[in-house]
Amino acid sequence: MNGLSLLAIVLRKELADALRDRRTLIVVLISSVLLGPLVLVALSGLIATLEAQAEKREVVVSGIEHAPALRNFIERQSYVVTPAPADYEAKLRAQKLGDPVLVVPPGFEAALLRGEQPALAIVSDTGNKAAEAGAGRVQRLLAAYARERGALSLALRGVSPQLLEPMQVEERDLASAQGRAAQLTGMLPFFVIMAVVYGALNAALDTTAGERERGSLEPLLANPAPRWALVGGKWGAVFALAMLIAVLCCLSFLPAQWLLRSDTLQAMFQFGWVEAMLFIALLLPLAAALSALLMAVAIRCKTFKEAQANSTVVVLAASLLPLMTLFNQTGEAWWHAWVPGLAQFTLMTRVLKGEALAMQPVAVSLAVCTVLTVVSVIFVAKHLRAAAVR
Amino acid sequence: MIHIDHVAKRFTAARGRSVQAVADVHLHAPDGCITGLLGPNGAGKTTTLRMLAGLITPDAGRLAVDGLDVATQPRAALARMGVLADARGLSPRLSARENIVYYGRLQGLSRDAAQARAEALADSLDLKPLLERRTDGFSQGERMKTALARALVHDPANIVLDEPTNGLDVLATRALREVLRHLRSPAGGGKCIVFSTHIMQEVERLCDSVSVVSHGRTVASGTVGELLAQTGERDFEEAFVKLAFADELAQTERAA
């Protein structure tokens, strides 16, 4: 019998073995397949609330009776003026009031007419996100009122209002709809990378350190099968499991979008079959490399527990490296493609933004992962015999 | 036929310390015989048998199975051997049958042939009621029988057993003895059986010839009768102690 068919026999056995470990599978499925969509849906709920508030045309004012002209202006902008509760400060601190409060001092109208530059206060709390978000809106409203007052008094003196605005400012946002959405959906690649890690972890440890701990590695090596076939079959099973979980995780985001509560997010969130397939294609080399690397770490450990402790380094690296892109404000760097995990994260973010994938980083990350896989598998094969008898 | 020719192995541990696990062990096991490798704990029995299975490369000496050198043709040698190693772990999530068939497939049997062998071995080892159960909750004896069936799945001409009676109760030990006697007989295939133990009674009851190992060296070999004659003892336990602990005995005598 040739080596490849022996490899297939080992692969089938290890896969069947791992799939029978129902309890572990269920935990992995819940943590990596369900968690992503759940967080996405929860986040969409938060965004929907913020959107509703942005659309709310309401200003909470304390002492509006001191400024009848301002009230007239606010109402002309089709806003509703609501009197502030007496204990608004306490309520803002306790996050019970979701709007900033505009405070008008007594004698405001008279001071304004005399040209004394009376002061208005916008009371908010940086710890109160909803009130913070509304503060900008109130500020813009007040600026518009100030501009109108100024323009009117100049017009009375025969000055053209255009002198007050010698230039016009126009805003143009270069980000595509998908680009904006990627700020929110940027965590998707993070979840699928975690799915790969946790899909591979248990099987990688069980086929190496677990086999050692059970004492089944020594009898396995008493078979006349070449070592590369044994290791290759084990690696193939771990890789297949990692990809199975990754595929399920990617596909779980497809129905999750129907549950999105925010209309804008739903309109911007572009994750269809094409994106899912691109994700899976990008994850293949990462799953191969991580499976082999975890096995290489675990083969040196005598027990499953020891292997778990040692593999924490790999798990942490795979989960924390993508976070570097969040802290690093300079954007994509050339070396990102050379770091497994980070490379896939960057490429998947590009897919989400609807940008084309450049050949070079794809080729580099594929090459790095292939080398890592081959080196790790050879390492495991070299250590297999020593691991069996120690 | 198994031939172990003056093998030696030294292990180097961390910080430069080293242990001479095997210094000079030799053994000749012909077909149709049960050959015992008798020695106290730590005498080098397991290391010797691991060298025979190709798991450890010897520093010196030669091991051959049916004339095939383990060093140069390890896979061909392994194909002619059924090894019940010191570690005999099973895959707990597979049934006894799946465990046995898996090894049959790795030995190059077709699926049907492996299944047929599993059935036949289950019959002779009294494994039938356990065959479809997962090995997770098996007792020591049930595990040993499954591991033995797994090692014999390819019907090897040579059988190597490392302390097979460890952890077995008296009935299981008797049953195992019967199986080994059957395998030795012409009806059972006239196998060459090498079996290591530290229990004298096992050797007395079962072995056609014995190799006594102590401190990594073969100190005596022959039939039980020959060893008794050599030491001038009537009790095999006394003979074994005289052979295996000669140095220790001399020291205590000098001290006294």
**How close A387 comes to chain B (CA, Å)?**
10
Which ranges of A257-341 does DSSP label H, i.e. alpha helix?
A: 263-268, 273-299, 304-320, 324-327
A55 or B242: which leads in pLDDT: B242
- Confidence band, pLDDT 50/70/90 cuts, at residue B7: very high
The answer to whether residue A373 scores a pLDDT higher than 80 is yes
Q: Is residue A32 part of a domain?
A: yes
Give the residue from A195, A182, A227, A178 showing the smallest Cα distance to A387.
A227
- Same domain for A291 and A351? yes
Residue A56 sits at φ, ψ, to 5 deg, of -70, 120
The answer to whether residue A161 scores a pLDDT higher than 60 is yes
A11 touches chain B (CB under 8 A): no
- Same domain for A163 and A279? no
Tokens of B48: 């010797």
Nearest neighbour of B90 by CB, restricted to A216, A223, A226: A216
- Same domain for A223 and A350? yes
Asked whether the beta carbons of residue A215 and residue B89 sit closer than 8 angstroms, the reply is: yes
Query: Which residue of B48, B55, B135 is the best one to mutate when testing the A interface, meaning the one whose CB has the most A CBs within 10 A?
Result: B55
Give the residue from B162, B125, B167, B115 showing the smallest Cα distance to B146.
B125
Tokens of A346: 């960057």
Average pLDDT of chain A to the nearest whole number: 85
- Same domain for A164 and A260? no
Task: Collect all residues with Cβ–Cβ distance below 8 Å to A347 and sequence separation of at least 6.
Answer: A282, A357, A361, A362, A365
Cβ contacts from A onto B, under 8 A? 82
Chain A hits for B14, Cβ within 8 Å: none
pLDDT of residue B115: 96
B85 burial level (CB within 10 Å; 0-12, 13-18, 19+)? buried
- Same domain for A25 and A67? no
Stretch B70-88: mean pLDDT, rounded? Answer: 93
Q: Is residue A350 part of a domain?
A: yes
- Out of A172, A195, A226, a domain closes at A172
Angle, helix A3-19 to helix B96-106, in steps of 10 degrees: 160
Give the residue from A146, A145, A131 showing the smallest Cα distance to A56.
A131
**How close A38 comes to chain B (CA, Å)?**
32
- Out of A137, A172, A207, a domain closes at A172
> 């006349």: which residue's tokens?
A224
Lowest mean pLDDT: which of A169-183, A235-249, A266-280, B47-61?
A: A169-183
Asked whether the beta carbons of residue B83 and residue A13 sit closer than 8 angstroms, the reply is: no
**How close B158 comes to chain A (CA, Å)?**
13
- Same domain for A163 and A184? no
Q: Is residue A164 part of a domain?
A: yes
Stretch A340-344: mean pLDDT, rounded? Answer: 89
- Same domain for A219 and A284? yes
A3 touches chain B (CB under 8 A): no
A375 or A2: which leads in pLDDT: A375
d(CA A25, CA A244): 11
What chain B holds in terms of domains, given with CATH numbers, is 2-80+158-255 (3.40.50.300), 89-155 (no CATH)
- Confidence band, pLDDT 50/70/90 cuts, at residue A335: confident
Query: Which residue of B49, B106, B160 is the best one to mutate when testing the A interface, meaning the one whose CB has the most A CBs within 10 A?
Result: B106
- Confidence band, pLDDT 50/70/90 cuts, at residue B126: confident
Nearest neighbour of B55 by CB, restricted to A10, A13, A221: A221
Stretch A15-29: mean pLDDT, rounded? Answer: 92
Asked whether the beta carbons of residue B89 and residue A388 sit closer than 8 angstroms, the reply is: no
A6 or A268: which leads in pLDDT: A6
**How close A20 comes to chain B (CA, Å)?**
7
Chain B hits for A216, Cβ within 8 Å: 87, 89-91
Question: Looking at residue B163, what DSSP letter applies?
Answer: S
pLDDT of residue A182: 56
pLDDT of residue A141: 86
pLDDT of residue A377: 96
The answer to whether residue A63 scores a pLDDT higher than 90 is no
- Same domain for A65 and A35? no
A243 or A359: which leads in pLDDT: A243
Check if the beta carbon of residue A245 is closer than 8 Å to that of residue A29.
Answer: yes
Nearest neighbour of A389 by CB, restricted to B50, B84, B102: B50
Chain A hits for B50, Cβ within 8 Å: 218, 389
Asked whether the beta carbons of residue A1 and residue B108 sit closer than 8 angstroms, the reply is: yes
Tell me how far the alpha carbon of residue B129 is from its chain's centroid: 27
Chain B hits for A218, Cβ within 8 Å: 50, 55, 85-87, 89
- Same domain for A92 and A147? yes
β-pairing verdict for A58-62 and A80-83: parallel
The answer to whether residue B121 scores a pLDDT higher than 90 is yes
- Same domain for A64 and A82? yes
The answer to whether residue A176 scores a pLDDT higher than 80 is no
Q: Is residue A51 part of a domain?
A: no
High-pLDDT (> 70) share of chain A, %: 90
Task: Collect all residues with Cβ–Cβ distance below 8 Å to B168 and sequence separation of at least 6.
Answer: B140, B141, B144, B176
Average pLDDT of chain B to the nearest whole number: 92
Nearest neighbour of A224 by CB, restricted to B75, B92, B147: B75
The answer to whether residue A146 scores a pLDDT higher than 90 is no
pLDDT of residue A184: 63
Check if the beta carbon of residue A266 is closer than 8 Å to that of residue A260.
Answer: yes
Nearest neighbour of A223 by CB, restricted to B78, B94, B98: B78
Residue in A closest to B160 by C-alpha: A222
Chain B hits for A221, Cβ within 8 Å: 53-55
The answer to whether residue A175 scores a pLDDT higher than 60 is no
The answer to whether residue A330 scores a pLDDT higher than 70 is no
Nearest neighbour of B150 by CB, restricted to A214, A218, A219: A219
For the domain that residue A127 is a member of, what is the CATH number? 3.40.1710
Please write the tens of the pLDDT for every residue from A318-328.
888 877 776 66
**How close B73 comes to chain A (CA, Å)?**
10
- Confidence band, pLDDT 50/70/90 cuts, at residue B244: confident
Please write the tens of the pLDDT for every residue from B25-74.
999 999 999 999 999 888 999 999 999 999 999 999 999 999 999 999 99
A16 touches chain B (CB under 8 A): yes
**Across chain B, how many H-helices and E-strands are there?**
10, 10
Highest mean pLDDT among A336-340, A373-377, A385-389, B53-57: A373-377
B14 or B170: which leads in pLDDT: B170
- Confidence band, pLDDT 50/70/90 cuts, at residue A356: confident
- Which residue range is the domain that position A295 belongs to? 3-46+178-389
Asked whether the beta carbons of residue A21 and residue B108 sit closer than 8 angstroms, the reply is: no
Query: Which residue of A223, A385, A389 is the best one to mutate when testing the B interface, meaning the one whose CB has the most B CBs within 10 A?
Result: A223
- Out of A172, A205, A230, a domain closes at A172
Chain B hits for A300, Cβ within 8 Å: none
Task: Collect all residues with Cβ–Cβ distance below 8 Å to A220 and sequence separation of at least 6.
Answer: A211, A230, A388, B106
Q: Is residue A223 part of a domain?
A: yes
The answer to whether residue A197 scores a pLDDT higher than 70 is yes
- Same domain for A166 and A197? no
Chain A hits for B79, Cβ within 8 Å: 224
Asked whether the beta carbons of residue A17 and residue B91 sit closer than 8 angstroms, the reply is: yes
Starting at the edge strand found earlier in the chain, the sheet holding A121-123 runs A80-83, A58-62, A101-103, A121-123
d(CA A384, CA A377): 10
> 């896939």: which residue's tokens?
A344
Nearest neighbour of A215 by CB, restricted to B83, B87, B106: B87
High-pLDDT (> 90) share of chain A, %: 37
High-pLDDT (> 90) share of chain B, %: 71
B134 or A333: which leads in pLDDT: B134
Asked whether the beta carbons of residue A222 and residue B92 sit closer than 8 angstroms, the reply is: no
Check if the beta carbon of residue A346 is closer than 8 Å to that of residue A324.
Answer: no
Asked whether the beta carbons of residue B93 and residue A17 sit closer than 8 angstroms, the reply is: yes
Query: Which residue of A19, A216, A382 is the best one to mutate when testing the B interface, meaning the one whose CB has the most B CBs within 10 A?
Result: A216
The answer to whether residue A160 scores a pLDDT higher than 70 is yes
Asked whether the beta carbons of residue A224 and residue B87 sit closer than 8 angstroms, the reply is: no
Stretch B159-170: mean pLDDT, rounded? Answer: 89
Residue in A closest to B54 by C-alpha: A222
- Confidence band, pLDDT 50/70/90 cuts, at residue A172: low
The answer to whether residue A147 scores a pLDDT higher than 80 is yes
Q: Is residue A309 part of a domain?
A: yes
pLDDT of residue A88: 87
High-pLDDT (> 70) share of chain B, %: 100
In total, how many domains does chain A have?
Answer: 2
A363 or A331: which leads in pLDDT: A363
Chain B hits for A388, Cβ within 8 Å: 55, 87
Residue B220 pairs in a beta bridge with B212
B30: helix, strand or coil: coil
The answer to whether residue A178 scores a pLDDT higher than 70 is no
- Same domain for A249 and A349? yes
Tokens of A319: 């989960």
Give the residue from A44, A4, A32, A39 showing the smallest Cα distance to A236.
A4
- Confidence band, pLDDT 50/70/90 cuts, at residue A135: confident
